[in-house]
Amino acid sequence: MIDEIDGDKVSVKVGWEPKVFKVSQMMQVNPPKMEKFDDVSNMTYLNEASVLWNLKARYVAKLIYTYSGLFCVVINPYKRYPIYTNRVVQMYIGKRRNEVPPHLFAASDGAYQQMMHASKDQSMLITGESGAGKTENTKKVITYFAILGATEVKKKAGEPEEEKKANLEDRIVNTNPILESYGNAKTIRNDNSSRFGKFIRIYFNHMGKLAGGFIDVYLLEKSRVSYQQPNERCYHIFFQLVEEGVVDGLQELCCMSTDPYDYFFCSQGKVKVDSIDDAEELEFTDVAFDTLGFTKEEKDNAFKLTACILHLGEMTFKQKGREESCEMDDPLPGQKIGKLCGIENWQLFYGNFIRPKIKVGTEWVYKGQNADNCLNSVAALARSMYNRLFMWLVDLCNRTLIDPTMKKVNFIGVLDIAGFEIFEFNTFEQICINFCNEKLQQFFNHHMFVLEQEIYVREGIEWEMVDFGMDLEATIQLMEKPWDSWLFLRKKLCFQNHLISHLMTN
């Protein structure tokens, strides 16, 4: 309540506590009937304070979904609410947006109805910072479309019983456990953060029934395989492999122990997360492999290649006296890798790191490596192997999501990219992720706000143009420029560092 206005200062009471603010900080309050309003764009007074207060009031009342014009704003409650059941799905199928409370399912159904009526492909953008709940909401969207486009298979009379085979809806949903195990990890802000981006196309036929799916993946954070910060964790699959008793004979198959601290690559940060049951997740991953129709050989190969990456981290080298070259220290990790990969001569495997063969001019020569160079080569091989393994698994998933009996007419795309984060030490992949997020935000602002304002001007509506978040445009332009600018910046920084060190020594 406003008590007194004195020039550019306003005395107000917040509860029973008197406070003084500048007039420019004061904003109009909406009438009581707009408390916990479904759509903030329809409020009488639209300002930052009223939007944030409305979102907070709805969140306290366990209403985590709120509309903002064309968008659906979600606040992560960090707990499970019973608002994603099959009964709730049925409530939203075929309903208009104003007939049901705000929900992700309403936005999903809107995309589906527009696809059916206009016969045009649709896309849903799920964006936000790390830990906002993008991956969880993506899974809910996929589940909704799987239920919406499910095809009932009618059995003919007298037809013999066949072996039960997972339908297309189940296969689409069961790609999630595999992608999460191999592509998700704990970060400082999120225990189950997607460290890659994905664009999932869900195809429908002319009747609106599921006809298949396809997954594109981008920007897998490969550096996490060989390095993690103290409060972070490597990919979930590495910790699932050491869980005993879930998959029979898994440790014997992978030549592994049950202690994650035995492996350097996955024990640099956290090894246990309270909110994740690695044994249960391994069971989900194993079931997903079977549901998607992976053969036993393909499943075993996936586990063995994953174990090979951990064994690579145990390879050690020692210097040969005063020589620049080195030799292997412990042959056991290399022997395990040779066994898992089918390499008969494990000594030759070590030799490729110690004395790699390189081409000089027109001739091939052997180059001696020191211990540090060998360890860097091993880490590079581990990162490259994991990236290829991940892409291979995605290809196998896509193979199972194709239904050749149904014609693909249109699709709904769901984009889920890794969240924006700033760490104490930022890897190259994280810079790429942040750059991609910022480009996406600029695209979003331009198409949803800037173009809309231009329409207002063309139609003669009195409107004051608003600048929507172009603060980082200069940074984007710098990163998109030719590499000459980066080389100049690097050269300048190197010169400054050299000058500083020279002054310190003198």
CA distance linking residue 466 with residue 9, whole number of Å: 26
Q: How far is CA 278 from CA 108, 130, 283, 389, 441, in A?
A: 31, 21, 9, 20, 35
Report the sign of the C-alpha dihedral through residues 234, 237, 238, 240, in that order: positive
Q: Among all chains, which residue has been given the structure tokens 């707009």?
A: 34
CB 368 within 8 A of CB 325: yes
CA distance linking residue 122 with residue 203, whole number of Å: 11
**How far is C-alpha 483 from the chain's CA centre?**
28
* 459 secondary structure, DSSP code: T
Helices 346-354 + 332-341 axis angle, to 10: 120
Which residue among the candidates 54, 143, 174, 193 is catalytic per the annotation? 193
How buried is residue 228: exposed, middle or buried, by Cβ count under 10 Å (0-12/13-18/19+)? buried
Report the sign of the C-alpha dihedral through residues 450, 453, 459, 464, in that order: negative
* 30 secondary structure, DSSP code: P
Which residue among the candidates 108, 181, 184, 190 is catalytic per the annotation? 190
Q: Is 190 among the catalytic positions?
A: yes
Q: Is 194 among the catalytic positions?
A: yes
Q: Would you call 215 helix, strand, or coil by DSSP?
A: strand
Q: Is 316 among the catalytic positions?
A: no
Transcribe 342-359 into DSSP letters.
T-S-HHHHHHHHHS-EEE
**H-assigned helices in 93-218:** 104-118, 134-148, 168-173, 175-183
Gap between the terminal Cα atoms of the chain? 65
Which residue among the candidates 66, 130, 138, 373 is catalytic per the annotation? 130
* Pair of tokens at residue 224: 């996490």
CB 401 within 8 A of CB 213: yes
The total of other beta-carbon atoms located within 10 Å of residue 301's CB is 16
Burial 10-46 (b: 16+ CB within 10 A, else e): beeeeeeeeeeeeeeeeeeebeeebeebbbbeeeeee
| E-state strands within 219-290 | none
Which residue among the candidates 169, 243, 421, 438 is catalytic per the annotation? 421
Q: Is 197 among the catalytic positions?
A: no
Q: How far is CA 457 from CA 443, 450, 460, 462, 464, in A?
A: 20, 11, 5, 7, 9
| E-state strands within 224-346 | 317-319, 326-328
Q: Is 249 among the catalytic positions?
A: no
Pairing of strands 17-22, 9-14: antiparallel
Q: Is 419 among the catalytic positions?
A: yes
CA distance linking residue 79 with residue 205, whole number of Å: 36
* 246 secondary structure, DSSP code: S
Which residue among the candidates 30, 50, 54, 135 is catalytic per the annotation? 135
Q: How far is CA 176 from CA 89, 285, 380, 445, in A?
A: 19, 9, 27, 30
Which residue among the candidates 131, 208, 293, 351 is catalytic per the annotation? 131
* Pair of tokens at residue 393: 């698994």
Which residue among the candidates 30, 176, 194, 325 is catalytic per the annotation? 194
Which residue among the candidates 133, 149, 212, 419 is catalytic per the annotation? 419
Q: Catalogue the active-site residues.
A: 130-131, 135, 190, 193-194, 419, 421
